[in-house]
Structure 1
Amino acid sequence: MSFATAEFREAVVFLGAAGLVVPAIKRLNVSPPLGFLLIGLLVSPYGLGRLAETHPWLEALVIEDQKAVHFAADFGVVFLLFMIGLELSLERLRSMWRLVFLLGGAQVLISAVVIATIAVFFGFRFDIAVVFGCALSLSSTAIIMHLLTESGRLGTSVGQTSFGILLFQDLAVVPILFVVGAFALDTGAVVAEMVSAVGKAVLVICLILGLGRLVARPLFRTVASTGSRELFLAVVLLTIIGAAVATEAAGLSAALGAFLAGLLLADTEYHHRIAIDIEPFKGLLLGVFFVSVGLSIDLAEIVAEPARILTAAFGLIVVKALIVYALARLAGKESSVALEIAMLLGPGGEFAFVVADMSLTTGVFYEDTAQFMLIIVSITMAMAPLLAMAARRLVAYFGASGVATETFADYPDQISGHVIVVGYGRVGQEIGQLLDSQRIPHVAIDLDALRVAALREAGLAIYHGDARQYEILERLGVRSAAALVVTMDDPKTALQTVISAHRDWPKLPIYARVRDAVHANAFLDAGAKEVILEAREGALQLGETVLVGVGLPEDAARDLVAERRAILQMAPPNAGAAVL
């Protein structure tokens, strides 16, 4: 095998362009997906490829073999669907069902019908119009979540309502792909084929979810207990690819299998760790997906029909924004909140590219039809950051903050004002019980997979992972946390956790349990606000300090700890040993 082959050359072109273009795009505070889309436009046969006709040296910068890129892009879609499934825990859906199923469902259904009706009015075939309506009713989860997170607005009414609608849009992707597949069937065989497809789908879904629930948790518990990050990642990748292969073998979409695998693992204690470990793969492969979209877009189409293209793009934003605004107002949102949500969700989304590719492959779309939709969606996605900025300025101009009383505390895994307890052995559990006695929300994280499994079965909010990783604490809401409590047995790991947390969040109060005075000084130097020597009395003192630190009056905190001390003194020596 030669590293000078076209495949390796084009890989170098992609990675080199990504290394130059994406950082420049991020400095402009633009979402990375748009950066990868720009790379695709730049290195495509329609971009630098046209200039290469007069400047031959540019041929080295052009990606011509799009098959290999599309193959990697398919993996990007698979990993994206897995991550979506991973975020769609049943608990989250239950807590947000009104936003997700009522508001989100109405938005997708009404938008799809209106857009399809407009497409039929302008002369498109019925099946093409329906696919248009379904695909263009969706918005960009990747870009909108990036914009909300970067601006610190995910916990506001705007953020949570947008998030709920996006969750339903993500759920709607699978049935939309079924619709596209149905239009590709011969008319006479549609009913029989659809019945067969639905039957296969139900069977495969039941097998994956049924067998998965029996096998997944014990398997991941065993692998996590080995402490091998490589082995854990290998099992995650095997789960994703195995589920994708299973659904594809049944004649269904590989993306559906990945989605089911994510849904299967969403309610386990490992879902935060899995999300962190898989993020680099998803990010890079999703980047390849956006590059492949850019490679497929012929900018000459915009030059040839600028009025038609731009009218369609702005029309899409206006139609969707009006629908979202009206629905948000009916749902009781303030006008300022509804306006910002409408402008965020007005543009198209990345799944329109998936639908366009599948429609082209199955013969539902012609090449020019696919090009038309790709260009419209690309233009509107590129406008998303500008629309978000304009929405905030409009809200500020009219004197409304757009921020309602909803906070992360209303939704699982997105609480605020909470305490993060790192290490949930004897000391960690004592602190957790003190916090629970005053209904102060807290989440725990521990490296011991068996302990985590046992405590999860007891109903505690504990997750498996390494708190030294920036991403792990991010996913536990450290930015909005009231305090971080470090109670691990291993002093080296505990100190590294304090160092990392203080470096990344210097204003976060950190309380730590230490072994002796030497360790105490090291922890204080590393950024801990207060340290307490270990043992049971240390746990009680640390618990009292934490209660005061998160806002409880000192007298009340002291009385609570005294009461807890009396209970412990009366308890038998081995009480609670099974869980401690």
Structure 2
Amino acid sequence: MTIYFIQAVIYLLAAVIAVPIAKKYGLGSVLGYLIAGVVIGPIAGLVGDETLTIQHFAEFGVVMMLFLVGLELEPKALWQMRTRLLGLGGLQVVGSTLLIMSVPYALGLPWTVSLAIGLIFSLSSTAIVLQTFHEKGLAKTDGAKGAFSILLFQDIAVIPMLAFIPMLALPELLNAGSPSEDNSSFNIVADLPGWAYTLVVAASISAIIFGGHFLSRPLFKFIAATGLREIFVACALLLIIGIAALMSLIGLSPALGTFLAGVVLANSEFRHELESNIEPFKGLLLGLFFITVGAGVNFAVLTDQFLLIVGVTLGVILAKALVIFLLASLFRFKGSNRWLVTLSLAQAGEFGFVLLGFSVQQSVLSPAIAGVLQLVVALSMFLTPVLFILFDKVILPRFEKDSNDREADTITEQGQVIIAGAGRFGQIINRLLVANGIKTTVLDHQATQIENMRSIGIKAYFGDASRPDLLSTAGIENASLFIIAIDNREETVELARYIKQTYPTVKILARAYDRGHLYQLRHEGVDYIEPETYHSALEVGSQALVDLGFHPFDVKQKKNTFKKIELEASDSLFDEWNSGSKGERYSTDYKRLFMEYQQKITDNMSGDRTDNDESSERSLTPPPNEYNKEAE
């Protein structure tokens, strides 16, 4: 028992040290896990043969991840992505398989071996790619959605691959010895005829769909009613493990089965509870899986055949990148999204380890070839974070630079109001003004925002609002108002400073991200500043008081009291902030004054203001005299 504790300490300690360091230097958690595995495995020799066994267990993290992905996809959304799923995903698997298999076949390997190699390398790493998309905030981009379509098709394609690979068995390998039996697997449909196997598969999938729709809700309601969180966690794990076991029993991919279950449960009211319960297990198992990949690198084989392994790895990456880039162009991915799809999927995947082991068992590949190919799969997965770094540091800045270098649009019409920024904030302002007959000129330096506005019939111009020549063309000399709606606090302050210095008669309206930003804008002379979250926070806070039993009349008064004292405090706090040195704006005196006003708010909240209510409050029915006593 002690040895298991020691091994657990080694794995966890390696992760705790390596992953934060990798994240700090922008390498991502996946590369951190891989490096941790290499350190405790081939380099330090702290772990040994148990790594392969742990890896089979840790692969369940991929199954959990696909269940969580399925929870985010409603069946309607899955149907909407059918073109990319079947077209883009199908062509990628076929194209990558044919291109990669052509190389070993040209070098003299049998076509059966070449085809098996092509199928294995046509798959990409679902675990690494989706995890990296999530970490880097790329999941909502068009490129990430396209990559997900390909990954989903690849996971589905594993099923026919497992059925097809035994047909590629080599007679000489069969004669050399029977394939080793895997005592850990048990297939109840192995001896069934084709028609019966089809019925079993259809019945199993139907059972998952039926159970997800009609049985899961009463089950989860019953478990939730117990109030025992650990039982709900156990129920969630039972659901996933049970479906994975069912899929394995009938020879299908457990990942595909749990993904389907996730899609079925996407509309369930227990979706978020399931996500929160499964997420920690998924993250831990995926991390463990990546560590075992690193720990399983055989440095002896890598050293003996270094040039071959590195050459094959780079060849696989380049071949897949070529196929995916052409398909991304064919399916009209634009700009950096085309490169995101290409670079994110250029590696081999975790299912490659599964297919390699299966191919050896089925006498399709010799152990010697499989050993080399396993290193190629692992090395390509090692290089995936490097490809994402290439995208972040080289590809993305180049497209952003091209966008910034684009010539500003010719402004044909000048408006009474100039709005700098066409994001969600600027668009709402513009719509309100235009609806009331106010002529506006909207500027934004992001081409996609301009195109989006034009696509719905709203006139906007591409250009940097901080450029003096563009402001002059926009008619700032004759403008009544200049509204700053830029999503960058530093640029907002600089733009306000320039306009107030150059066009002092133009009135400026802007939003502030926080109190410090508000003071900066006020210091530059902005005429009207609206704190970004102030009103929404007041409304939510007021509703919270109502939900906690306060009468709406009292809440209205308390909210107005809060606003009144805040307004009263704004000048004093700004003067105190402004009197401080640049590096010490929030002095001790400022903090003391802030606390005094906060205490004043607290004192006024406890007072009775029913005798001096404002006109805005008179529409509300005041609470009865007994109300406060009853609340107590």
Cα distance in 2 for partners of 1:508, 1:368 equals: 63
Work out which of the residue numbers 57, 75, 92 in structure 1 matches 2:77: 92
Aligned to 1:12: 9
Aligned to 2:475: none
Aligned to 1:499: none
Aligned to 1:39: 36
Match of 2:27, SS? coil
Cα distance in 2 for partners of 1:534, 1:178 equals: 66
Match of 1:241, SS? helix
Question: Given the alignment of the two structures, is residue 388 of structure 1 paired with residue 388 of structure 2, yes or no?
Answer: yes
Structure 1 residues 42 and 203, CA gap change in structure 2 (3 angstroms) = same
Give 1:122 shift. 3.0
Aligned to 2:398: 397
Aligned to 1:372: 372
**1:125-157 alpha-carbon deviations (Å, 9 max, x no partner):** 444433322232222333333444444443333
RMSD: 4.0
Moved more, 252-261 or 277-286: 252-261
Cα distance in 2 for partners of 1:326, 1:515 equals: 53
Aligned to 2:439: none
Cα distance in 2 for partners of 1:123, 1:191 equals: 35
Give 1:278 shift. 0.4
TM-score, normalised by the number of residues in structure 1: 0.62
Moved more, 249-258 or 93-102: 249-258
Work out which of the residue numbers 145, 156, 169 in structure 2 matches 1:160: 145
Give 1:40 shift. 2.9
1:432-471 pair list within 5 angstroms: none
Aligned to 1:111: 96
1:12-411 pair list within 5 angstroms: 12-44=9-41, 46-49=42-45, 61-66=46-51, 68-180=53-165, 197-334=197-334, 336-392=336-392, 393-394=394-395, 396-397=397-398, 399-401=401-403
Please tell me the residue identity of whatever aligns with 1:28.
Y
Cα distance in 2 for partners of 1:81, 1:72 equals: 16
Moved more, 262-271 or 282-291: 262-271
Give 1:67 shift. 5.8
Cα distance in 1 for partners of 2:137, 2:59 equals: 32
Assess if the C-alpha contact under 8 Å between 2:47 and 2:295 holds in 1: no
Give 1:174 shift. 3.6
Cα distance in 2 for partners of 1:254, 1:170 equals: 10
Give 1:281 shift. 0.7
Give 1:14 shift. 1.4
**1:283-306 alpha-carbon deviations (Å, 9 max, x no partner):** 112222223333332122222122
**1:311-343 alpha-carbon deviations (Å, 9 max, x no partner):** 111111111111111111112233554234322
Cα distance in 1 for partners of 2:223, 2:424 equals: 33
Cα distance in 2 for partners of 1:533, 1:351 equals: 60
Aligned to 2:498: none
Match of 1:266, SS? helix
Assess if the C-alpha contact under 8 Å between 1:336 and 1:401 holds in 2: no
Cα distance in 2 for partners of 1:234, 1:512 equals: 40
Cα distance in 2 for partners of 1:23, 1:213 equals: 41
Match of 1:165, SS? helix
Cα distance in 1 for partners of 2:21, 2:233 equals: 31
Aligned to 2:588: none
Assess if the C-alpha contact under 8 Å between 1:317 and 1:347 holds in 2: yes
Query: Where do 5+ consecutive residues of structure 1 fail to align?
Result: 50-60, 403-415, 419-479, 481-501, 524-531, 542-580
Assess if the C-alpha contact under 8 Å between 2:159 and 2:252 holds in 1: no
Match of 2:267, SS? coil
Assess if the C-alpha contact under 8 Å between 1:31 and 1:143 holds in 2: no
Cα distance in 2 for partners of 1:384, 1:371 equals: 21
Assess if the C-alpha contact under 8 Å between 1:245 and 1:257 holds in 2: no
Match of 2:321, SS? helix
Give 1:215 shift. 0.7
Match of 2:140, SS? coil
Match of 2:347, SS? coil
Please tell me the residue identity of whatever aligns with 2:290.
F
Assess if the C-alpha contact under 8 Å between 1:329 and 1:335 holds in 2: no
**1:413-463 alpha-carbon deviations (Å, 9 max, x no partner):** xxx969xxxxxxxxxxxxxxxxxxxxxxxxxxxxxxxxxxxxxxxxxxxxx
Cα distance in 2 for partners of 1:9, 1:534 equals: 60
Give 1:81 shift. 4.0
Please tell me the residue identity of whatever aligns with 2:19.
V
Structure 1 residues 391 and 260, CA gap change in structure 2 (3 angstroms) = closer
Moved more, 230-239 or 209-218: 209-218
Structure 1 residues 355 and 100, CA gap change in structure 2 (3 angstroms) = same
1:511-530 pair list within 5 angstroms: 511=537, 519=545
**1:374-396 alpha-carbon deviations (Å, 9 max, x no partner):** 22222222222332333352454
Cα distance in 2 for partners of 1:178, 1:231 equals: 38
Cα distance in 2 for partners of 1:81, 1:183 equals: 29
Please tell me the residue identity of whatever aligns with 2:221.
R
Match of 2:48, SS? coil
Structure 1 residues 208 and 128, CA gap change in structure 2 (3 angstroms) = farther
Please tell me the residue identity of whatever aligns with 1:309.
I
Cα distance in 2 for partners of 1:7, 1:337 equals: 45
Please tell me the residue identity of whatever aligns with 1:116.
M
Assess if the C-alpha contact under 8 Å between 1:144 and 1:344 holds in 2: yes
Assess if the C-alpha contact under 8 Å between 2:124 and 2:154 holds in 1: yes
